[in-house]
A and B are shown apart, each in its own frame.
Chain A
Amino acid sequence: MPPQPQSVVSTPLDSLSYAAPSRIRAFLCPVGLVSRPRFLDFVSRLQDTAIIRLGDVTPDPRPERVMFSPQGFPDGFVVYNFVTSIDSHHAFLEDLELYRRTLAVFGLADYNNVNDLTDLRIVIGALQAQHPQALIHKVILFDCPLEQNELPSVDFICVPPKRASRITTVRTTLCDLTSALLAELPLLAKAFQAADTIASPLARDDDYDSVMLTSSAVAQSRPSPAGSTGSLPSTINKDNRLSYPLSHHTERQRMRRKGRSMKMIANMYLLAGRTFDALKEYNDALNVLKGVGDHLWHASSLEGIGICMVILAHIGVSFVIPNSVLPPVSPSSEKKELEQPQLLDLLPQMTSNILSLYNRSQNFPGESVPQITYAETILRTTNLLACTTLAGGWTSAARTAAVLSRPIPEISIPYSQFHHAKMDVMNWISAAQAVRLDGVDAVDAARILTGVAAACGKLGYSRKRGFVLRQLVLELIPRIFQARQVAQNRKSRLPWSDVDDDEYWEDSRDVYVQPQDLDSSVLAVLSDICTVYGIPVDSTGEVSTFGWQGVKTSILKTCIGLCQVMPDFVGIVRYTSMLFRFSAEDLTVDEQLTLMRNFGNAYTAARSMGVQDFEQEYWDAYLVRDIAVVESSLWAVPTLVPLDAAPSNRIDSSGPFIYSPFAKKGDEEDKKHLFVLDEPVEFKVILQNPFAFELDILTMSLVGTGTSFSSDVISLVVPPRKLYPASIYLTPTSTGVLNITGCRFQVLGCKETIFSITPAQAAVTPPVRIKNFGLDARNSSMVKIPSPAFVKHVSVEVVPALPVLRVNRISLPQSSLMLLEGERRRFVIALGNVSETVPATSVSLKFSDSTTKSLSAALQEDSRGESDRYEIEMFLHKRAALRCVTDLNGVKVPANGEAEIELEVLGKRGLTSACIEISYSHVFDSNVVLKEMYVRTLTLDINVTVNASIEVAGCDFVPFSYDMPMIRTGDGKATTTDILLKFLDQVGIPFEEMDNYCLMLLDLRNSWPSQLAVELDSRTTANDIHTVKKVIQPGHLTRLLVPIRRISDIDTSLPIPSLAPPKQFTRSDVKSMSGDGSRKSGLWSPEVERTVFWYREELLKVLDGRWTDNISETDGLRRGAVELRALRISPQMVEIIRVDDVVVNLSLAPSEYNRRSGKYHWIVEADSFLTLVTSVTSHSTADSVSGILRIQPTLRNLPDSIALDINRRILFNGILQMPVVDIKSGDTRRVETDFVVLVRGEYEFLASFEETTAGFGGKRYIGREKFVISVN
């Protein structure tokens, strides 16, 4: 028995074209072993030659078979409608519409697979038994090299292989077959003519004669859908109808029978291509049927006339339009040959008549029109009108299209004409749409609706077409469901309800639609509907802004509904994905859960059936909201350190502007993450699940561009309605820049897809500019999601392998120690290398401590004077709390090894903790000069307690003066002079040199609870150091006397320096010029402050203090430095310390009349000639000094009013003031003045030098020591 092909091969001839009833239905079935593609190839070869001109057909010579001889109308043609399935469904219509009957059955055999031709004889028998209603049963042997006469039977037809055959070979074969068929037709005609009665399609045997039926019975009398009629062999029907007893016939019925049989003959003429005869027979039948009021057959004949006229018009033969079809108002001439455009006007009118006749037939039960016939009549007319509309009128193209379903070439038609024609067609379409589908079974409903849809499509009304197709789907869903229910005998269940029990899915597999069938069938229809409503079928990373959201949701639900009843698992998966993608926000929680459950079931079912590659992309494009690097506590993140000498933010000192707003800020640079080769890095991936169901992610891995890496693959479940952080590791496998662009996911039931990082879910905004309207806008409405502007990526740099160091040991107990202020202590840290392969070859240290913060804060205060600021900067930058003792160049930590580093910590006031940053790296080739290096940093904190030790409580300076009273007390106690002399002797200062020194009184307090020995060094010359030692008891304040060499050659005009990097600032000069006490910062004017600053700096250079705790031996010997920077000096003290720029010295030229009693004390005789020698020495930093020297003699120890009256007491030779010019720096100028003292007594001489170099108001220098002359 030949196998039934499962799928329907689409016929190239439109089954709803106007002339479709003129085609002979021929059933093709494979015979023997024929592969599917071979079979389809054979079918298409036959279909290519489906139109056979009667002129080519050899007539049958037998005289009884000449009724339908092709010679009757050689211009006519037979058109085959090749089908590959039997439409047993419409068998009840075959009498009324003969074209529905399968008249020929052709078995198609592949000669290459045929072993024994005799076997095929059995096949012929089987075909005959199976299709008894067919007139001929033949087997066509394709690729058969044999000649026809070599074949065992005439039922075998031979078609040579394609190579050996000419173009006309298949046509010739078909002509032969047509000849055989036409020879068989007269037998059928005779059978009809001989039949007692010919029944209407809806007539039932028992009520055929009972005319009076209630209208409610009409509906019942219609064939029940899907089964009863279809399952009955059509022959039984026919035989039953034909075998009605003659005695029942009245005259009316006899005429009716006659009319009907004439109509049948006309049908056969039409099929046989004898159109003229058909027209004539139809007309005769029409007249008979009209007379007996057989509306159904009357209408059918009328339709036949229309078809005949169209075919004749197509052939181009002139013919006469029967009077009976002309409208009554038409001209009264007997028979008129109508112009063809008038024929076009006539045809719709005829169809209207047909429809009204059909409607009238509804009143006669058993004679009423079947819905399918009614609807197809409308659709055929619609089709005809559509063809003429598209062809621009009743052109030959339109006629060819109507008769032979040939495509119409595109032409341009005046718009208004086109539009009106289309509107006419639309009216017919509406009429077809209005056909009620209540009692119609699924197949007919589908046929009618697809017909309507096709007509809409032809006119270019794709939305209307979509609407009709949706209606079709909605019509089909309950019918298919019902059919399945009947088949499976299951309890009632609504198609929309949640079909979640496993049994349903199990059962569904039996009737599951095979995926290969879907390409051309259901899925294609659904895709088509979706496209019209703006749901892109293949949207990868794009979303359409086209369409009506609510409508889209509804359409997708409909699609899912159809797929569920089919059941089509792939379709369920596909449309559920799409629904979630496009309309998730329109779904309720329950709907989402139900859809997801069905989705999961369908997916599992499809997978278990072995369907491949049907998954869709996961629907939420914003799955990955963020990816961030997690700082590892195990692996320190390396940093990039520049190694070249110039600091990265070097300041161009050539201009006055230090601050440049365009310079790159240092903070913004180090944003890039650095990864180390072969070390795993953790990423935190924020996933979103806005849906109401749990998201089952089967695999998730990171993807990126740049260097290679290996990512972990993890699986996880994202809870519903959550932003969920997932942790995933990645290991870079080569160095370079790595961009993490997103993640690759496989969500359960979805295709593996890569998702970009989209921190913000931007609203999908359609393009602003409107360039197309309506359906044309579909393509331009695609918006990429996520929008590239919102996609971010994480950029990291992978650096070469680096070691990992740990602090193995530290020589401090619990990393803490106690220090006295100024004390230094050393400790050792041992660094261990954890890395197995990489040694640490470069180690550097960086320190910070707790004082830094407070000092930096203090530095920010505006109100400080410059010297205070310098002081703070000094402590911040120069007094480092920590120092490395070990030479770091030699420190290398081998892989898995250890190295020690010795550090020194200084007890600094305010120090509570210190931080050691150990930066280390691995330099592969030490010969290469690196510009920058990747380092890792290890931080070590130590706690420090600093206690006060020796503090500077205060200081003062006393000049050494020769003016001290030189008295020796009688009681033998040491006088001041003695003490002074003794002290000078101790510190090794010669008495004569005494005025080059001064004495510092330094008060030191011991704040430590045990005694401390203090040593204070004072450098007097380059080689001499005077050391003062003292032991200070706890809590005691002790004054130390320290000789200081007076300081000269200090340029106090230099500004106070700053140790901090330079800052751009504007200085308000107005404020500082205003002078008086308004200057907040500092007590003194800037000049004085500068002077004090520089002398203090000089002083601190020559001083050095140490203390030793030689008493308490518990923690070993403590020693440390005295913090002398606590010294505060005033301008008055500076006057004592400094050596004046210009020193004026007085002395007498030695002579017999004078003798010296002290350094500045002379005893002279009265009335003797003396010479006063004034020496002016310049210590100034200026090149030369000029000025006026003044000498002022006074009487000693007398009030000023008398003291200055010396005119009569001393005679001077010359004047007492004179210019002294151009004294080079370091030079001494001597000025000699002769004088005679007339009156005895004690005189004092004062000399002063007033500088004039700098113009008016120059500095005045006065001799430091009083020059005294005692005159005897």
Chain B
Amino acid sequence: MSFYLAIIGTRDNAVYDLEFGTYRQGGDGKPKFSADMKQLCPFIVHSSLDIVEEMQWNTNVMHLKVIDKFYNYLISSYMTAGNIKFLLLHETRADDVIRQFFVDLHDLYVKTLMSPFYSVDQPITSAVFDQRVKMLAKKYL
């Protein structure tokens, strides 16, 4: 199974994105997207923003669950209080695990946001952040 994670800022800008695969069922953590799909992932995630924008006023929880689908792919979303969107493209429905993943990711994001050298909407280039996100992915997905 392959995943595509994107953190979207307030201006539809990608703050961070990552492709990864599962470690479950003998997976090696590498994404297995086809070349076309690899190119398409950002577009799919981007097009789901319409739904996220609509959902955000309709609920008081941050985890919006699966909000959109594209062929066999599902898009789960999580929205922080500062209107930063976490979007995960995945293949099977696993709301609880994804919620835990998002909550931990939110924790990481807030820590990044507290850095005096980082301001909202800037791309996250920290290698540590990247590594920790990968660890989260390995832990949950």
How far is it, in angstroms, between the C-alpha of A554 and the C-alpha of B14 when the chains are bound? 14
Q: Check A907 for interface membership: any CB of B closer than 8 A.
A: no
The contact string, 1 if C-beta is below 8 Å from chain A, for chain B 42-58, is: 11101111110111011
Q: Check A773 for interface membership: any CB of B closer than 8 A.
A: yes
**Chain B residues whose C-beta falls within 8 Å of the C-beta of A549 in the assembled complex:** 13-14
Residue contact A467 to B44, C-beta cutoff 8 Å: yes
Q: Check A415 for interface membership: any CB of B closer than 8 A.
A: yes
How far is it, in angstroms, between the C-alpha of A463 and the C-alpha of B120 when the chains are bound? 22
**A534-B58 in contact given A463-B49, A768-B119 (Cβ < 8 Å):** no
**Chain A residues whose C-beta falls within 8 Å of the C-beta of B53 in the assembled complex:** 773-775
How far is it, in angstroms, between the C-alpha of A774 and the C-alpha of B39 when the chains are bound? 22
**Which single member of A461, A545, A550, A766 contacts B50 (CB below 8 Å)?**
A461
Residue contact B71 to A546, C-beta cutoff 8 Å: no
How near does chain B come to A552, taking the closest CB pair, in angstroms? 10
Residue contact B14 to A770, C-beta cutoff 8 Å: no
**Chain A residues whose C-beta falls within 8 Å of the C-beta of B42 in the assembled complex:** 548, 550-551, 554
How far is it, in angstroms, between the C-alpha of A773 and the C-alpha of B119 when the chains are bound? 16
Residue contact A547 to B69, C-beta cutoff 8 Å: no
Residues 58 to 75 of chain B near chain A (Cβ within 8 Å): 58, 68-71
Residues 750 to 788 of chain A near chain B (Cβ within 8 Å): 766, 768, 770, 772-775, 777-778, 781
Q: Check A680 for interface membership: any CB of B closer than 8 A.
A: no
- Nearest residue (CB) in B for A422 is B54
**Chain A residues whose C-beta falls within 8 Å of the C-beta of B10 in the assembled complex:** 770, 772-774, 777
Residue contact B43 to A470, C-beta cutoff 8 Å: yes
Residue contact B51 to A534, C-beta cutoff 8 Å: no
**Chain A residues whose C-beta falls within 8 Å of the C-beta of B55 in the assembled complex:** 419
**Chain A residues whose C-beta falls within 8 Å of the C-beta of B70 in the assembled complex:** 430, 433
**Chain B residues whose C-beta falls within 8 Å of the C-beta of A773 in the assembled complex:** 10, 53, 83
Q: Check B19 for interface membership: any CB of A closer than 8 A.
A: no
**Chain B residues whose C-beta falls within 8 Å of the C-beta of A415 in the assembled complex:** 57-58
Residues 819 to 863 of chain A near chain B (Cβ within 8 Å): none
Residues 1078 to 1104 of chain A near chain B (Cβ within 8 Å): none
Residue contact A467 to B47, C-beta cutoff 8 Å: yes
**Chain A residues whose C-beta falls within 8 Å of the C-beta of B120 in the assembled complex:** 768, 770
**Which single member of A546, A551, A770 contacts B46 (CB below 8 Å)?**
A551
Interface residues on A, range: 35 or more
The contact string, 1 if C-beta is below 8 Å from chain B, for chain A 522-566, is: 000000000001100000000001111111001000000000000
Q: Check B121 for interface membership: any CB of A closer than 8 A.
A: yes
How near does chain A come to B88, taking the closest CB pair, in angstroms? 16
Q: Check B11 for interface membership: any CB of A closer than 8 A.
A: yes
Residues 68 to 93 of chain B near chain A (Cβ within 8 Å): 68-71, 82-83
Q: Check A434 for interface membership: any CB of B closer than 8 A.
A: yes
Residue contact A426 to B51, C-beta cutoff 8 Å: yes
Q: Check B107 for interface membership: any CB of A closer than 8 A.
A: no
Residues 89 to 129 of chain B near chain A (Cβ within 8 Å): 119-121
Q: Check A462 for interface membership: any CB of B closer than 8 A.
A: yes
**A419-B83 in contact given A463-B46, A770-B10 (Cβ < 8 Å):** no
**Chain A residues whose C-beta falls within 8 Å of the C-beta of B28 in the assembled complex:** none
**Chain B residues whose C-beta falls within 8 Å of the C-beta of A470 in the assembled complex:** 43
Given contacts A548-B12, A775-B12, 11 further A-B contacts (CB under 8 A): A426-B68, A461-B51, A467-B46, A467-B47, A470-B43, A546-B12, A548-B46, A549-B13, A554-B42, A554-B43, A773-B83
Interface residues in chain A, defined as those with a beta carbon under 8 Å from any beta carbon in chain B: 415-416, 419, 422, 426, 430, 433-434, 456, 460-464, 466-467, 470, 533-534, 545-551, 554, 766, 768, 770, 772-775, 777-778, 781
Residue contact A548 to B14, C-beta cutoff 8 Å: yes
Residue contact B71 to A434, C-beta cutoff 8 Å: yes
**Which single member of A416, A533, A551, A766 contacts B121 (CB below 8 Å)?**
A766
**Chain B residues whose C-beta falls within 8 Å of the C-beta of A460 in the assembled complex:** 50
Residue contact B47 to A466, C-beta cutoff 8 Å: yes
18 A–B contacts, CB within 8 A, in A order = A416-B58, A419-B55, A426-B51, A426-B68, A430-B69, A546-B11, A548-B8, A548-B42, A548-B46, A550-B14, A551-B42, A554-B43, A766-B11, A768-B120, A770-B82, A770-B83, A773-B83, A775-B53
**Chain A residues whose C-beta falls within 8 Å of the C-beta of B12 in the assembled complex:** 463, 533-534, 546-548, 774-775, 777
**Chain B residues whose C-beta falls within 8 Å of the C-beta of A456 in the assembled complex:** 50
**Chain A residues whose C-beta falls within 8 Å of the C-beta of B43 in the assembled complex:** 467, 470, 551, 554
How far is it, in angstroms, between the C-alpha of A770 and the C-alpha of B120 when the chains are bound? 9
How near does chain B come to A422, taking the closest CB pair, in angstroms? 7
**Chain B residues whose C-beta falls within 8 Å of the C-beta of A766 in the assembled complex:** 11, 121
How far is it, in angstroms, between the C-alpha of A473 and the C-alpha of B32 when the chains are bound? 26
Residue contact B57 to A547, C-beta cutoff 8 Å: no
Residue among A545, A547, A551, A774 with max Cβ neighbours from chain B (10 Å): A774
**Chain A residues whose C-beta falls within 8 Å of the C-beta of B69 in the assembled complex:** 430
**Which single member of A416, A419, A781 contacts B11 (CB below 8 Å)?**
A781
- Nearest residue (CB) in B for A468 is B47
**Chain A residues whose C-beta falls within 8 Å of the C-beta of B71 in the assembled complex:** 434
How near does chain A come to B61, taking the closest CB pair, in angstroms? 15
Residues 1 to 34 of chain B near chain A (Cβ within 8 Å): 8, 10-14
**Chain A residues whose C-beta falls within 8 Å of the C-beta of B47 in the assembled complex:** 461, 463-464, 466-467
Residue contact A534 to B54, C-beta cutoff 8 Å: no
How far is it, in angstroms, between the C-alpha of A415 and the C-alpha of B70 when the chains are bound? 25
How near does chain B come to A1212, taking the closest CB pair, in angstroms? 101
- Nearest residue (CB) in B for A430 is B69
Residue among A426, A463, A551, A775 with max Cβ neighbours from chain B (10 Å): A463
Residue contact B83 to A554, C-beta cutoff 8 Å: no
**Chain B residues whose C-beta falls within 8 Å of the C-beta of A422 in the assembled complex:** 54
Residue contact A547 to B51, C-beta cutoff 8 Å: no
Residue contact A547 to B13, C-beta cutoff 8 Å: yes
How near does chain A come to B94, taking the closest CB pair, in angstroms? 21
How far is it, in angstroms, between the C-alpha of A934 and the C-alpha of B10 when the chains are bound? 58
Residue contact A547 to B50, C-beta cutoff 8 Å: no
Which 10 residue pairs of A and B lie closest in terms of their CB atoms, listed nearest first?
A467-B47, A461-B50, A546-B11, A548-B14, A777-B11, A464-B47, A463-B50, A773-B83, A774-B53, A463-B47
Residue contact A462 to B50, C-beta cutoff 8 Å: yes
How far is it, in angstroms, between the C-alpha of A774 and the C-alpha of B48 when the chains are bound? 12
- Nearest residue (CB) in B for A464 is B47
**Chain B residues whose C-beta falls within 8 Å of the C-beta of A467 in the assembled complex:** 43-44, 46-47
How far is it, in angstroms, between the C-alpha of A463 and the C-alpha of B47 when the chains are bound? 5
How near does chain A come to B80, taking the closest CB pair, in angstroms? 12
How far is it, in angstroms, between the C-alpha of A416 and the C-alpha of B59 when the chains are bound? 9
How near does chain B come to A97, taking the closest CB pair, in angstroms? 28
**Chain A residues whose C-beta falls within 8 Å of the C-beta of B83 in the assembled complex:** 770, 773
How near does chain B come to A134, taking the closest CB pair, in angstroms? 42
How far is it, in angstroms, between the C-alpha of A766 and the C-alpha of B43 when the chains are bound? 23
